[in-house]
Structure 1
Amino acid sequence: MGSAPSNFAGQPTVAGTASEASKALVQLGSIPVKGLAPKTGYTRDEFGPAWADTDHNGCDTRNDILARDLTGEIFKPGTNNCVVASGTLADKYTGTTINFVRGRDSSSDIQIDHIVPLSDAWQKGAQQLTADQRKELANDPLNLMAADGPTNSAKGDKDAATWLPPNKAFRCEYVERQTAVKAEYSLWVTPAEHDAIVDILKGCQ
Protein backbone atom coordinates (compact mmCIF):
# COMPACT_ATOMS: atom_id res chain seq x y z
CA MET A 1 0.00 0.00 0.00
CA GLY A 2 1.39 3.37 -0.95
CA SER A 3 0.80 6.89 0.20
CA ALA A 4 -2.23 8.87 -0.89
CA PRO A 5 -1.97 10.76 -4.17
CA SER A 6 -1.04 14.34 -3.39
CA ASN A 7 -4.07 15.79 -5.15
CA PHE A 8 -6.35 14.02 -2.66
CA ALA A 9 -4.21 14.28 0.48
CA GLY A 10 -4.21 18.06 0.82
CA GLN A 11 -6.42 21.06 0.35
CA PRO A 12 -7.40 22.31 -2.12
CA THR A 13 -7.77 19.35 -4.44
CA VAL A 14 -7.82 19.27 -8.22
CA ALA A 15 -10.17 16.31 -8.35
CA GLY A 16 -13.48 16.45 -10.15
CA THR A 17 -12.00 17.48 -13.49
CA ALA A 18 -12.65 15.63 -16.76
CA SER A 19 -9.12 14.21 -16.76
CA GLU A 20 -9.50 12.94 -13.21
CA ALA A 21 -12.83 11.32 -14.14
CA SER A 22 -11.21 9.61 -17.12
CA LYS A 23 -8.41 8.29 -14.93
CA ALA A 24 -10.95 7.05 -12.39
CA LEU A 25 -12.90 5.20 -15.10
CA VAL A 26 -9.71 3.43 -16.16
CA GLN A 27 -8.92 2.66 -12.53
CA LEU A 28 -12.45 1.37 -11.96
CA GLY A 29 -11.93 -1.06 -14.82
CA SER A 30 -9.15 -2.73 -12.82
CA ILE A 31 -11.33 -3.26 -9.73
CA PRO A 32 -13.10 -6.65 -9.44
CA VAL A 33 -16.89 -6.66 -9.53
CA LYS A 34 -18.37 -9.13 -7.04
CA GLY A 35 -21.27 -9.62 -4.69
CA LEU A 36 -21.28 -8.42 -1.11
CA ALA A 37 -19.49 -10.67 1.39
CA PRO A 38 -21.08 -11.33 4.79
CA LYS A 39 -20.59 -8.69 7.46
CA THR A 40 -19.78 -11.49 9.91
CA GLY A 41 -16.93 -10.61 12.24
CA TYR A 42 -16.94 -6.90 11.53
CA THR A 43 -16.20 -4.49 14.37
CA ARG A 44 -14.51 -1.09 14.28
CA ASP A 45 -11.64 -2.67 16.22
CA GLU A 46 -10.76 -4.78 13.16
CA PHE A 47 -9.30 -1.56 11.72
CA GLY A 48 -7.25 -0.70 14.78
CA PRO A 49 -7.89 1.90 17.48
CA ALA A 50 -9.92 4.88 16.34
CA TRP A 51 -7.77 7.80 15.21
CA ALA A 52 -4.33 6.35 15.82
CA ASP A 53 -1.23 8.45 15.17
CA THR A 54 -0.13 6.39 12.18
CA ASP A 55 2.17 9.04 10.71
CA HIS A 56 3.91 9.50 14.10
CA ASN A 57 3.64 13.29 14.06
CA GLY A 58 2.33 13.45 17.63
CA CYS A 59 -1.28 14.15 16.59
CA ASP A 60 -4.07 11.64 16.15
CA THR A 61 -5.66 11.23 12.73
CA ARG A 62 -8.86 13.10 13.63
CA ASN A 63 -6.94 16.25 14.49
CA ASP A 64 -4.70 15.84 11.44
CA ILE A 65 -7.77 15.83 9.18
CA LEU A 66 -9.44 18.72 11.00
CA ALA A 67 -6.24 20.75 10.61
CA ARG A 68 -6.10 19.84 6.91
CA ASP A 69 -9.75 20.51 6.04
CA LEU A 70 -10.64 23.49 8.23
CA THR A 71 -9.58 27.08 7.62
CA GLY A 72 -8.76 29.66 10.25
CA GLU A 73 -8.20 26.90 12.76
CA ILE A 74 -7.15 27.72 16.29
CA PHE A 75 -5.34 25.06 18.28
CA LYS A 76 -5.81 24.23 21.94
CA PRO A 77 -2.96 25.77 23.91
CA GLY A 78 -0.28 23.37 25.08
CA THR A 79 -0.92 20.75 22.39
CA ASN A 80 1.93 21.72 20.02
CA ASN A 81 -0.58 22.87 17.37
CA CYS A 82 -2.23 19.47 17.41
CA VAL A 83 -5.71 19.62 18.97
CA VAL A 84 -8.03 21.80 16.89
CA ALA A 85 -10.18 24.03 19.12
CA SER A 86 -12.08 25.88 16.42
CA GLY A 87 -12.17 26.64 12.72
CA THR A 88 -14.39 26.86 9.65
CA LEU A 89 -15.31 24.03 7.30
CA ALA A 90 -16.46 24.48 3.72
CA ASP A 91 -18.43 21.24 3.85
CA LYS A 92 -18.22 19.31 0.59
CA TYR A 93 -21.17 17.03 1.30
CA THR A 94 -23.69 19.83 1.71
CA GLY A 95 -21.99 22.82 0.09
CA THR A 96 -22.50 24.81 3.29
CA THR A 97 -20.11 26.51 5.70
CA ILE A 98 -19.89 25.16 9.24
CA ASN A 99 -18.23 26.83 12.21
CA PHE A 100 -16.48 24.26 14.39
CA VAL A 101 -15.98 24.69 18.13
CA ARG A 102 -14.50 21.82 20.10
CA GLY A 103 -16.71 20.84 23.02
CA ARG A 104 -18.90 18.15 24.55
CA ASP A 105 -22.03 19.31 22.74
CA SER A 106 -20.48 20.75 19.57
CA SER A 107 -17.62 18.51 18.42
CA SER A 108 -20.03 16.13 16.69
CA ASP A 109 -21.23 18.95 14.39
CA ILE A 110 -18.24 17.99 12.26
CA GLN A 111 -17.29 14.34 11.93
CA ILE A 112 -14.39 12.67 10.14
CA ASP A 113 -15.90 10.53 7.41
CA HIS A 114 -14.39 7.44 5.85
CA ILE A 115 -15.06 8.03 2.14
CA VAL A 116 -15.20 4.24 1.78
CA PRO A 117 -16.98 3.20 4.99
CA LEU A 118 -15.08 0.62 7.01
CA SER A 119 -18.05 -1.74 7.13
CA ASP A 120 -18.34 -1.50 3.35
CA ALA A 121 -14.63 -2.18 3.00
CA TRP A 122 -14.94 -5.19 5.31
CA GLN A 123 -17.60 -6.72 3.08
CA LYS A 124 -15.60 -6.03 -0.09
CA GLY A 125 -12.19 -7.46 0.59
CA ALA A 126 -10.79 -5.92 3.77
CA GLN A 127 -11.33 -9.18 5.65
CA GLN A 128 -8.40 -10.52 3.63
CA LEU A 129 -6.10 -7.61 4.50
CA THR A 130 -3.63 -7.79 7.35
CA ALA A 131 -4.38 -5.93 10.58
CA ASP A 132 -1.73 -3.34 9.68
CA GLN A 133 -3.25 -2.81 6.23
CA ARG A 134 -6.71 -2.30 7.71
CA LYS A 135 -5.29 0.20 10.21
CA GLU A 136 -3.63 2.05 7.32
CA LEU A 137 -6.92 2.10 5.42
CA ALA A 138 -8.79 3.52 8.42
CA ASN A 139 -6.26 6.34 8.85
CA ASP A 140 -5.34 7.07 5.23
CA PRO A 141 -5.90 10.78 4.36
CA LEU A 142 -7.10 9.64 0.93
CA ASN A 143 -10.07 7.97 2.63
CA LEU A 144 -10.81 10.68 5.20
CA MET A 145 -12.62 14.00 5.11
CA ALA A 146 -14.13 16.38 7.64
CA ALA A 147 -17.87 16.53 6.99
CA ASP A 148 -21.19 17.75 8.33
CA GLY A 149 -22.06 15.42 11.19
CA PRO A 150 -25.77 14.75 10.46
CA THR A 151 -25.06 14.18 6.76
CA ASN A 152 -22.25 11.78 7.56
CA SER A 153 -24.52 9.91 9.96
CA ALA A 154 -27.16 9.64 7.24
CA LYS A 155 -24.57 8.17 4.90
CA GLY A 156 -23.70 5.41 7.37
CA ASP A 157 -22.02 2.49 5.63
CA LYS A 158 -23.76 2.98 2.26
CA ASP A 159 -21.84 2.73 -1.01
CA ALA A 160 -22.30 4.86 -4.15
CA ALA A 161 -25.27 2.77 -5.28
CA THR A 162 -27.32 3.78 -2.25
CA TRP A 163 -25.90 7.16 -1.15
CA LEU A 164 -24.35 10.16 -2.86
CA PRO A 165 -23.52 13.60 -1.43
CA PRO A 166 -26.48 16.03 -1.49
CA ASN A 167 -24.05 18.56 -2.99
CA LYS A 168 -24.04 17.40 -6.61
CA ALA A 169 -20.94 19.46 -7.39
CA PHE A 170 -18.88 17.13 -5.17
CA ARG A 171 -20.12 13.83 -6.57
CA CYS A 172 -17.38 13.51 -9.19
CA GLU A 173 -14.59 13.89 -6.65
CA TYR A 174 -16.46 11.68 -4.19
CA VAL A 175 -16.63 8.63 -6.46
CA GLU A 176 -13.12 9.31 -7.78
CA ARG A 177 -11.81 9.04 -4.23
CA GLN A 178 -13.85 5.91 -3.52
CA THR A 179 -12.41 4.34 -6.66
CA ALA A 180 -8.87 5.32 -5.71
CA VAL A 181 -9.24 3.85 -2.21
CA LYS A 182 -10.70 0.59 -3.47
CA ALA A 183 -7.91 0.24 -6.03
CA GLU A 184 -5.23 1.11 -3.45
CA TYR A 185 -6.41 -1.50 -0.95
CA SER A 186 -7.44 -4.27 -3.38
CA LEU A 187 -11.12 -4.00 -2.51
CA TRP A 188 -13.95 -4.77 -4.90
CA VAL A 189 -17.24 -3.16 -5.93
CA THR A 190 -20.69 -4.66 -6.34
CA PRO A 191 -22.39 -4.56 -9.77
CA ALA A 192 -24.82 -1.84 -8.64
CA GLU A 193 -22.01 0.20 -7.11
CA HIS A 194 -19.90 -0.16 -10.26
CA ASP A 195 -22.74 1.07 -12.45
CA ALA A 196 -23.50 4.01 -10.15
CA ILE A 197 -19.85 5.12 -10.19
CA VAL A 198 -19.71 4.81 -13.99
CA ASP A 199 -22.86 6.92 -14.34
CA ILE A 200 -21.37 9.68 -12.18
CA LEU A 201 -17.94 9.62 -13.83
CA LYS A 202 -19.35 9.75 -17.36
CA GLY A 203 -21.19 12.90 -16.39
CA CYS A 204 -17.91 14.47 -15.23
CA GLN A 205 -16.21 14.22 -18.62
Structure 2
Amino acid sequence: MHRGSAVAIGLASLLMTCGVVALAPAQATTQNAQTLLNSLPVSPEHQGGYDRSLFKHWITQGGCTTRQDVLIRDAVSGSASGCTVVDGLWHSVYDGVTTSNARTFDIDHQVPLKEAWDSGAWRWTPDKRKAFANDLGYANSLIAVSASSNRSKSDQDPAEWLPPNTADTCRYVKAWIGVKYRWRLAVDSLEKSSILQLLRGCPKQMQLPDLA
Protein backbone atom coordinates (compact mmCIF):
# COMPACT_ATOMS: atom_id res chain seq x y z
CA MET A 1 0.00 0.00 0.00
CA HIS A 2 1.53 3.30 -1.06
CA ARG A 3 1.33 6.14 1.46
CA GLY A 4 -0.01 9.50 0.30
CA SER A 5 -2.21 8.15 -2.48
CA ALA A 6 -5.70 6.76 -2.22
CA VAL A 7 -5.98 3.06 -2.92
CA ALA A 8 -9.01 0.83 -2.71
CA ILE A 9 -9.23 -1.53 0.23
CA GLY A 10 -10.91 -4.89 -0.31
CA LEU A 11 -12.35 -7.14 2.35
CA ALA A 12 -9.66 -7.41 5.02
CA SER A 13 -8.91 -10.58 6.91
CA LEU A 14 -6.65 -11.11 9.88
CA LEU A 15 -4.03 -12.57 7.56
CA MET A 16 -3.86 -9.54 5.27
CA THR A 17 -0.85 -7.26 5.24
CA CYS A 18 -0.48 -3.53 5.54
CA GLY A 19 2.15 -0.81 5.39
CA VAL A 20 5.49 -2.20 6.45
CA VAL A 21 4.27 -5.79 6.76
CA ALA A 22 5.09 -8.25 3.99
CA LEU A 23 3.47 -11.57 4.86
CA ALA A 24 2.21 -14.08 2.31
CA PRO A 25 -0.60 -15.96 4.08
CA ALA A 26 -1.36 -18.22 1.11
CA GLN A 27 2.14 -19.69 1.43
CA ALA A 28 2.30 -19.68 5.22
CA THR A 29 3.47 -22.80 7.03
CA THR A 30 0.78 -24.49 9.08
CA GLN A 31 1.03 -26.48 12.29
CA ASN A 32 -1.29 -28.49 14.49
CA ALA A 33 -2.70 -26.01 17.01
CA GLN A 34 -2.52 -28.44 19.92
CA THR A 35 1.09 -29.30 19.09
CA LEU A 36 1.95 -25.61 19.06
CA LEU A 37 0.18 -25.06 22.38
CA ASN A 38 2.05 -28.00 23.89
CA SER A 39 5.35 -26.41 22.85
CA LEU A 40 4.74 -23.42 25.13
CA PRO A 41 6.28 -23.34 28.60
CA VAL A 42 3.78 -23.87 31.42
CA SER A 43 4.31 -21.62 34.42
CA PRO A 44 2.28 -19.77 37.08
CA GLU A 45 1.73 -16.12 36.23
CA HIS A 46 4.26 -13.61 37.53
CA GLN A 47 2.73 -11.41 40.21
CA GLY A 48 3.24 -7.66 40.46
CA GLY A 49 5.24 -4.93 38.79
CA TYR A 50 3.04 -4.33 35.73
CA ASP A 51 2.43 -0.84 34.40
CA ARG A 52 1.01 -0.11 30.95
CA SER A 53 3.67 2.56 30.41
CA LEU A 54 6.29 -0.21 30.36
CA PHE A 55 5.00 -1.13 26.88
CA LYS A 56 5.42 1.93 24.66
CA HIS A 57 2.72 1.58 22.03
CA TRP A 58 1.25 3.23 18.95
CA ILE A 59 4.67 4.32 17.76
CA THR A 60 5.20 5.65 14.24
CA GLN A 61 6.31 3.03 11.71
CA GLY A 62 6.66 3.84 8.03
CA GLY A 63 5.06 7.25 8.52
CA CYS A 64 1.91 6.11 10.33
CA THR A 65 1.24 5.10 13.91
CA THR A 66 0.62 1.45 14.71
CA ARG A 67 -3.03 2.24 15.40
CA GLN A 68 -3.39 3.90 12.00
CA ASP A 69 -1.72 0.97 10.25
CA VAL A 70 -4.10 -1.53 11.85
CA LEU A 71 -7.16 0.59 11.03
CA ILE A 72 -6.03 0.74 7.39
CA ARG A 73 -5.43 -3.01 7.27
CA ASP A 74 -8.67 -3.99 9.00
CA ALA A 75 -11.02 -1.69 7.08
CA VAL A 76 -13.54 -3.82 5.17
CA SER A 77 -14.20 -0.98 2.73
CA GLY A 78 -12.99 2.53 1.96
CA SER A 79 -9.88 4.13 0.48
CA ALA A 80 -6.58 4.69 2.25
CA SER A 81 -5.13 8.16 1.88
CA GLY A 82 -1.94 8.69 3.80
CA CYS A 83 -2.58 7.41 7.30
CA THR A 84 -6.38 7.62 7.23
CA VAL A 85 -9.23 5.72 5.58
CA VAL A 86 -11.78 7.71 3.57
CA ASP A 87 -15.34 6.36 3.83
CA GLY A 88 -14.01 3.47 5.90
CA LEU A 89 -16.05 0.69 7.42
CA TRP A 90 -14.85 -1.62 10.21
CA HIS A 91 -16.28 -4.87 11.54
CA SER A 92 -15.51 -6.18 15.04
CA VAL A 93 -15.21 -9.97 14.93
CA TYR A 94 -15.48 -10.14 18.72
CA ASP A 95 -19.10 -9.01 18.85
CA GLY A 96 -20.31 -8.39 15.29
CA VAL A 97 -20.41 -4.59 15.61
CA THR A 98 -19.87 -2.64 12.38
CA THR A 99 -19.04 1.07 12.29
CA SER A 100 -17.96 3.85 9.98
CA ASN A 101 -16.55 5.78 12.95
CA ALA A 102 -13.03 4.52 13.68
CA ARG A 103 -12.99 6.44 16.95
CA THR A 104 -15.43 3.91 18.42
CA PHE A 105 -12.97 1.07 17.79
CA ASP A 106 -9.92 0.11 19.83
CA ILE A 107 -6.83 -1.72 18.65
CA ASP A 108 -6.74 -4.82 20.81
CA HIS A 109 -3.58 -6.66 21.73
CA GLN A 110 -4.61 -10.27 21.15
CA VAL A 111 -2.55 -11.19 24.20
CA PRO A 112 -3.11 -8.22 26.54
CA LEU A 113 -0.09 -6.29 27.75
CA LYS A 114 -0.59 -7.32 31.37
CA GLU A 115 -1.03 -10.95 30.34
CA ALA A 116 2.22 -10.71 28.39
CA TRP A 117 3.95 -9.18 31.42
CA ASP A 118 2.70 -11.94 33.71
CA SER A 119 3.67 -14.60 31.13
CA GLY A 120 7.30 -13.59 30.76
CA ALA A 121 7.55 -10.03 29.42
CA TRP A 122 8.55 -8.83 32.89
CA ARG A 123 12.01 -10.19 32.01
CA TRP A 124 12.22 -8.32 28.70
CA THR A 125 14.10 -5.17 27.78
CA PRO A 126 12.08 -1.99 27.14
CA ASP A 127 12.82 -2.32 23.41
CA LYS A 128 11.42 -5.85 23.26
CA ARG A 129 8.28 -4.79 25.13
CA LYS A 130 7.86 -1.92 22.65
CA ALA A 131 8.24 -4.35 19.74
CA PHE A 132 5.56 -6.60 21.23
CA ALA A 133 3.15 -3.73 21.78
CA ASN A 134 3.48 -2.60 18.14
CA ASP A 135 3.84 -5.97 16.40
CA LEU A 136 2.79 -5.63 12.76
CA GLY A 137 4.83 -8.67 11.74
CA TYR A 138 2.10 -11.15 12.66
CA ALA A 139 -1.40 -10.18 11.62
CA ASN A 140 -3.04 -11.77 14.67
CA SER A 141 -1.07 -9.74 17.21
CA LEU A 142 -3.25 -6.63 16.85
CA ILE A 143 -6.87 -6.31 15.73
CA ALA A 144 -9.40 -3.49 15.38
CA VAL A 145 -12.49 -4.27 17.47
CA SER A 146 -15.30 -2.38 19.15
CA ALA A 147 -14.18 -0.45 22.20
CA SER A 148 -16.86 -2.12 24.32
CA SER A 149 -15.66 -5.65 23.49
CA ASN A 150 -12.03 -4.72 24.05
CA ARG A 151 -12.78 -3.26 27.46
CA SER A 152 -14.94 -6.24 28.37
CA LYS A 153 -11.98 -8.48 27.60
CA SER A 154 -9.52 -6.28 29.52
CA ASP A 155 -6.49 -8.37 30.53
CA GLN A 156 -8.27 -11.74 30.74
CA ASP A 157 -7.06 -14.96 29.14
CA PRO A 158 -9.28 -17.53 27.34
CA ALA A 159 -10.06 -19.29 30.62
CA GLU A 160 -11.76 -16.06 31.73
CA TRP A 161 -13.07 -14.40 28.55
CA LEU A 162 -14.03 -15.36 25.01
CA PRO A 163 -15.57 -13.26 22.23
CA PRO A 164 -19.38 -12.99 22.56
CA ASN A 165 -19.49 -13.92 18.87
CA THR A 166 -18.99 -17.69 19.20
CA ALA A 167 -18.15 -17.94 15.48
CA ASP A 168 -14.86 -16.22 16.37
CA THR A 169 -13.84 -18.69 19.10
CA CYS A 170 -11.54 -20.90 17.00
CA ARG A 171 -9.81 -17.98 15.33
CA TYR A 172 -9.43 -16.30 18.70
CA VAL A 173 -7.81 -19.18 20.57
CA LYS A 174 -5.49 -19.99 17.66
CA ALA A 175 -4.44 -16.35 17.46
CA TRP A 176 -3.77 -16.47 21.21
CA ILE A 177 -1.56 -19.53 20.77
CA GLY A 178 0.17 -17.89 17.81
CA VAL A 179 1.11 -14.73 19.70
CA LYS A 180 2.36 -16.69 22.71
CA TYR A 181 4.42 -18.94 20.45
CA ARG A 182 5.83 -16.01 18.45
CA TRP A 183 7.03 -14.27 21.61
CA ARG A 184 7.80 -17.42 23.63
CA LEU A 185 5.41 -16.51 26.39
CA ALA A 186 4.26 -19.03 28.98
CA VAL A 187 0.76 -20.31 29.68
CA ASP A 188 -0.56 -21.16 33.11
CA SER A 189 -2.17 -24.56 33.71
CA LEU A 190 -5.80 -23.36 33.76
CA GLU A 191 -5.25 -21.25 30.65
CA LYS A 192 -3.76 -24.24 28.82
CA SER A 193 -6.48 -26.70 29.84
CA SER A 194 -9.20 -24.24 28.80
CA ILE A 195 -7.62 -23.73 25.38
CA LEU A 196 -7.18 -27.49 24.88
CA GLN A 197 -10.87 -28.00 25.55
CA LEU A 198 -11.82 -25.24 23.11
CA LEU A 199 -9.57 -26.67 20.39
CA ARG A 200 -11.59 -29.90 20.35
CA GLY A 201 -14.27 -28.06 18.41
CA CYS A 202 -11.88 -26.39 15.96
CA PRO A 203 -10.05 -27.36 12.76
CA LYS A 204 -6.70 -28.80 13.78
CA GLN A 205 -4.33 -26.67 11.70
CA MET A 206 -3.26 -23.06 12.20
CA GLN A 207 -0.71 -20.68 10.72
CA LEU A 208 2.75 -21.08 12.21
CA PRO A 209 4.03 -17.58 13.06
CA ASP A 210 7.64 -16.56 12.67
CA LEU A 211 9.41 -16.16 15.98
CA ALA A 212 9.90 -12.52 16.95
Whether TM-score is above 0.5 comes out as yes
TM-score (norm 1): 0.79
Number of corresponding residues: 180
SS of the residue 2:144 aligns to: strand
One of 112, 115, 126 as aligned partner of 2:107: 112
Aligned counterpart, 2:4 = none
Aligned counterpart, 2:130 = 135
TM-score (norm 2): 0.77
8 Å CA contact 1:73, 1:88 repeated in 2: yes
Deviation digits for residues 106-154 of structure 1, max 9, x if unmatched? x1x1110001000011011001122221111111133100001111111
8 Å CA contact 2:14, 2:143 repeated in 1: no
One of 30, 37, 54 as aligned partner of 1:46: 54
Deviation digits for residues 19-40 of structure 1, max 9, x if unmatched? 96x62211101101111111x2
Aligned counterpart, 2:166 = 168
Q: Runs in 1 of length 4+ with deviation above 6 angstroms?
A: none
- 1:99 maps to 2:100: yes
When the two chains are superposed, the root-mean-square deviation of aligned CA atoms in Å is 2.4
Which blocks of at least 5 consecutive residues in structure 1 are unaligned?
1-6, 102-106
Deviation digits for residues 41-72 of structure 1, max 9, x if unmatched? 21122112x3012xx31000000000000122
Measure how far apart 1:85 and its partner are: 5.7
CA distance in 2, matches of 1:125, 1:171: 25
Measure how far apart 1:9 and its partner are: 4.3
Identity %: 37
CA distance in 1, matches of 2:164, 2:100: 19
Higher helix share: 1
Aligned counterpart, 2:210 = none
Aligned counterpart, 2:16 = 10
What amino acid is the match of 2:93?
K
SS of the residue 1:177 aligns to: helix
Which blocks of at least 5 consecutive residues in structure 2 are unaligned?
1-12, 18-24, 204-212
